[in-house]
Amino acid sequence: MLLSRPIVANNQVQTLSLFLAGFITLALDSYLFAAMTGDSPAPALCVRSRSVGLIASGLLGLGGVAILAGISWLLATAVVSTGKKAKRLQNELRTLELFTQFVLYGTAFSIGAFVAITAVDFLVYGLGDRAPSGLNWYAVVYMVIFAAMLGASRYRKRRSPEPSERFLTFAIFWTVSYAVVGSVGTTAIMTPTAVQWLSAPTGLIWAIAAFTMLGALPAVLALVHAVPQLKISVGNARTGRAQLEPSRPAPPTPAGSVNAAEETT
């Protein structure tokens, strides 16, 4: 849909960049799930398998938000109408915009809550008797703070509908960086080392949980906040190109000036 039209606008390039970041994240995430599936079923390595699964869950959630943000950008670039239909389409666009915002913000919060609950479950299993009491409240506090950040983002978008491009650039960079670091970290975890996973170090367990819960948070917030407002681009609905203003005929040249020009030549 996007490549069927010539790339003539900056938002088309941004849409392609978002989809590319999402596809890279999901591709690396498939490698993590494959590594977890092929891990040894030995009970001593259950914590290692859960570590890989937790990181893979974080990448899956971030990749899903990136794809949804890319779809929202795709809708923003695809809305092209003629001037006669623009007014009638505006109300429908408002409904579509509210729906996409609801889906995007709701999905982001759901993924954040899922990752938080999964991370707490990983901490309980990985730490065992070393787990602090009231660990479940960590997930509750995380979800409350995350919901407040999403609400602040929505409030800022209502006051300033057009976000800065730096949000999108930061979101794309952080998404790809998080996916690469997660994949490299998983490779290091799967490498045979001196770590005794049956009683893994407390710091390592906390570091894996913190990376999953906090590492993707800036990228998710930036992806959600960088989605543009749906606007109507007046143009040719078949080609997707903006209509050019009709050229005005040149004013008639007085006959006297033509004769004077001929005499001069």
Model confidence over 163-208: pLDDT tens digits? 667 778 888 899 999 999 999 988 888 877 645 676 778 888 899 9
Q: Which residue has the higher pLDDT, 83 or 220?
A: 220
Tokens 């203003």 — which residue?
A: 245
pLDDT higher for 209 or 253? 209
Helices (H), the chain: 10-37, 46-78, 83-127, 136-159, 165-190, 202-215, 217-225, 255-264
Give CA 169 to chain center in angstroms.
Answer: 11
CB atoms within 10 A of CB 53: 19
Percentage of the chain modeled with pLDDT above 70: 71
CA–CA distance, 129 with 141 (Å, rounded to integer): 22
Return the amino acid letter for 129: D
- pTM, entire model: 0.76
Q: pLDDT digits over 31-73, tens only? A: 888 888 877 777 667 888 888 889 999 999 999 999 988 888 8
Of 16-25, 65-74, 111-120, 251-260, the range with the lowest mean pLDDT is 251-260
Whole-number pLDDT of residue 46: 81
Encoded tokens for 191:
């490498």
Mean pLDDT over each residue of the chain, to the nearest integer: 77
The DSSP code sequence of 46-60 is: HHHHHHHHHHHHHHH
Distances (CA, A) of 66 to 37, 173, 174, 242: 25, 12, 11, 28
- What is the per-residue pLDDT for 204? 87
